[in-house]
Structure 1
């Protein structure tokens, strides 16, 4: 499961190297990143500026901030309600971890945690395997730092895998912030899977999963790996597609305009975000291309608690949730209103769906993100070629971007984030400070 999660993260950052430019380019465009101008207070270090870049027109490529590789910060994670970008910090000796929270607009440090040791014995955990996730409830964000500890590991014994989690409030302040709660989940080496709206994270165990409530620090166990909750929380992450009938066995959850064959639901679920499951269903007017590809699907968002369709949209032509890499990315805007998945999009508030798959008269679009205003960013795909585009979901009006404009790794609130691969992943501090691993640009 960890490899799959890591693969998903890698797929999200594939466009980012072009977005951040080379270390030399950054130094030429913005001066020496990280340098403190004369007269600046040493107590308030200046945030390194991001290199000037071509970005989508809604953002300002001349104004931005950056995180340098030498800062030993990685795994950027967004707290949507707090307008923070959070980082997992690896302390220099590799024996302790931490969290650093930056203002999304300016890059200023809002707060940082005290060094956290998942185990007093460094041999029992690996810092590079730690995770940082965010879960939210009632407009409040919680930050969860998770690491697998092989308890009892030594030169001979492999140890018993146990998940250790430290939970922080995203609205903390100051330095040396202590966890609200520390939780251990024995019998697992799986990662933490956050929920968008119920303030929990789930950890897969041998028997099922354990759900951790971030606000209270309490846990509950859900036994069985064929329960709806397990499949939605775990299988939707580890296996990008599953049948709706497997989640809600024996129930008819067929949306209007879709078909059900032989009493079995044929909907395929692609992802779960914002309290909804996204599924694709064969349409009553199902047809095929000359090459045998199925067309004309009904796409629906189902209530994750009951499985009932909340609303659906009939899409003519070719629509597919899977990008070229083969894994589905179900992406939610920070305000929880807009959701995109492959070449379909949904306005969860207005209860409308939008289709941007390929037809005889129109190219397809594969989405990479969506902002709070309903502008989605993606790549136009026709005959194997791809180009970037910004698209207003409500009007369907596209804005073609220059081919040199890289799509953001993520659009969050009022900023666009571009991630870049570290020059030396094994030792983040080994290369010059001028290499930016993240560049963040504000809206104009």
Structure 2
């Protein structure tokens, strides 16, 4: 009797296999040209990513001429945030599934082939999409996802916390860290440690290698002597190789390390430095010009500092804004770190040159969003910020940082959110409100 059951099971398996082969031959699978929707219409793929190998045809967007749309790879159903490891060429994104669960997935940007994936997990607050970033600690690099909210079953309120998942980029090994936290957190991954801040003087530091957490209060920030402004509007900005980066109403310092007054650029008021953005290994700060400077009343100086030593690397003067912005633009580095952009500012760090893109009226109408190792930056004129430029707002442009010249692109051109392994990654939302990521190789 048992042998008969086994034989029937084998026959059934053969029939099922034949049916599957027949369906594949008919071309009706979700990854077939008929199943893949290139215009936003047609059948929905569900909440699971799909990729097209690097040699395949993908949706063709209007993009800068430096990229070829004849081939590439495509992911449908990605999270809004992505993270890239330039060291490995892996791109990470989040996939959302039933039950408010998320899973980190990776793709090889050079080929479009799926890489490793993490275990599924639930964020504390399902109403907020988790954030995604990359952090480097020594020779090791990690993808980091984090979210904030209350834990509990809905009937019994629980504690509020920041929940982080850390993934080694080389193999996907995963560890979870939960930090009790009250109030909206700010999270910095400039490295080597992950910094959670309350926007003021309190912070928690997470070692991504071990997952160990250490908390620091305002009384542990080691304020520099003779700096009363350091204790006004005190804010933890992130981590540097030399320690925690902290700023006050004016002046900034590294806890137990260098002090801005001692590393101020030439020609500025040494007690006026303000941190505006932090990137891996770099600090972007603005300074008031010395009172006797010719343009002290109308201009200020922007400088890129080495995060380990505080030494200014390159600077440029720019008009003071008529109204001080509530949030300064985020600094963005090229993959190898040779260029830095932020709003209407651009710096060639190797050549020690900077440029402020502004009109004759002294107003900066350009928002830069992405910069490549070839010294080409992408952004948009008349866009409020980089996010709006990447979403299709404003008039898209390409900027050659060797000559500081701006070339207009097609009005409906999409801009790369990042570039790595010679592939530009573009993001757009189709008519079914699905986020799509497309990788186009460079033409050269």
Same fold (TM over 0.5): yes
Give me the whole-angstrom Cα distance separating, in 2, the residues matched to 1:242 and 1:381: 32
Q: Aligned residue for 1:128?
A: 128
| Contact 2:366/2:381, CA 8 A, preserved across alignment | yes
TM-fit CA distance, 1:421 = 4.3
Residue 363 of structure 1 deviates from its aligned partner by: 8.2
**In the alignment, is the contact (CA less than 8 A) between 1:346 and 1:352 conserved in 2?**
yes
Is it true that 1:204 corresponds to 2:192 in the alignment? no
Counterpart check, 1:59 vs 2:62 = no
Instruction: Please give the residue correspondences for 1:10-409 in structure 2 after superposition, counting only pairs within 5 Å.
Output: 27=37, 46=52, 50-69=58-77, 73-94=79-100, 96-117=101-122, 125-126=125-126, 128-148=128-148, 150-155=150-155, 157-172=156-171, 178-179=173-174, 181-188=175-182, 190-191=184-185, 193-198=187-192, 200-204=193-197, 208-224=202-218, 227=221, 231-233=236-238, 243-245=249-251, 247=253, 251-260=261-270, 265-284=271-290, 285=293, 287=295, 295-304=298-307, 308-315=310-317, 318=319, 327-359=328-360, 365-380=366-381, 387-409=395-417
Q: Deviations over 1:40-84 (max 9, x none)?
A: xxxx97458542122111111332322223xx6442222222212
Q: Secondary structure at the match of 2:237?
A: helix
Q: 1:421 to 1:410 in 2, by over 3 A?
A: same
Q: Check the 8 A contact 1:132/1:144 in 2, yes or no.
A: yes
Whole-angstrom CA distance in 2 between matches of 1:126 and 1:322 = 37
1:101-124 per-position Cα deviation (integer Å, ceiling 9, x unaligned): 011233321111122346xxxxx5
Query: What is the aligned partner in structure 1 of residue 15 from structure 2?
Result: none
SS in 1 for 2:302: strand
Cα distance, 1:185–1:365 mapped onto 2, change above 3 Å = same
Residues 33 and 49 in structure 1, CA contact (< 8 A), matched pair in contact too: no
For the aligned residue pairs, the C-alpha RMSD in angstroms reads: 4.1
Q: Name the counterpart of 1:442.
A: 441
Kindly tell me the number of residue pairs found equivalent between the two proteins.
Answer: 369
Unmatched 5+ residue regions in structure 1? 1-25, 36-43, 119-123, 235-240, 289-293, 424-430
TM-score, normalised by the number of residues in structure 2: 0.69
Post-superposition offset of 1:242: 6.9
Gaps of 5+ in 2: 1-35, 224-233, 240-246, 384-392
Q: Secondary structure at the match of 1:133?
A: strand
* Change in 2 beyond 3 A, CA 1:226/1:63: farther
TM-score, with structure 1 as normaliser: 0.69
Change (3 A) 1:216 1:299: same
Change in CA separation of 1:74 and 1:397 when aligned onto 2, cut-off 3 Å: closer
Shift in CA distance, 341/45, structure 1 to aligned 2, threshold 3 Å = closer
Q: Secondary structure at the match of 2:251?
A: helix
Whole-angstrom distance in 2 between the partners of 1:230 and 1:142 = 25
SS in 1 for 2:403: coil
Structure number with the bigger relative contact order (C-alpha 8 A, sep ≥ 6) is 1
How far apart are the structure 2 equivalents of 1:321 and 1:134? 35
Give SS of 1:251's match: helix
CA contact (8 A) 1:30 1:51 kept: no
Secondary structure (helix, strand or coil) at the match of 1:128 reads coil
Structure 1 residues 250 and 51: alpha-carbon distance in aligned structure 2, compared to 1, 3 A threshold: closer
